[in-house]
Amino acid sequence: MAKNRLERKAAPLDTDFYFLDLIKYRSLSNQIAEVFSVSHESPQVLLIKNMECVYEESHSGIDMDEIQMQLNLS
């Protein structure tokens, strides 16, 4: 559902988005959680800038407009 909400809106320009299949790549997901000091949740959005997680949100809080606002702040 969260992925569908994101896909209904245009992604911010000059921003790369990556979808991680947690079932297939669980070890990578665990490594990302450790490197960026975030608790793993699914679904989850992480905004990484200069190798730092500057924003994270999960489940029903995932919203493209909020991601755009966070990009403008960071």
Residue 14 contacts by C-beta under 8 Å, 6 or more apart in sequence? none
Name the band, by pLDDT with cuts 50, 70 and 90, for residue 11: confident
Residue 23's pLDDT is what?
A: 83
Asked if the structure places residue 12 within a domain, the reply is yes
Residue 13's pLDDT is what?
A: 87
Domain count, the chain: 1
How far apart are alpha carbons 43 and 37 in whole angstroms?
Answer: 17
Q: Looking at residues 60-67, what average pLDDT do you find?
A: 93
The single-letter DSSP state of residue 73 is H
Q: Which whole-number Å values give the CA distances from 55 to 24, 52, 61, 74, in the listed order?
A: 24, 9, 12, 9
Per residue in 14-44, pLDDT tens? 899 998 988 899 999 999 999 999 998 889 9
Asked if the structure places residue 71 within a domain, the reply is no
Residue entry with tokens 């990484």: 48
Asked if the structure places residue 74 within a domain, the reply is no
This prediction has a pTM of 0.85
Range of the domain at 22: 2-66
Asked if the structure places residue 51 within a domain, the reply is yes
How far apart are alpha carbons 26 and 10 in whole angstroms?
Answer: 28
Residue 1's pLDDT is what?
A: 87
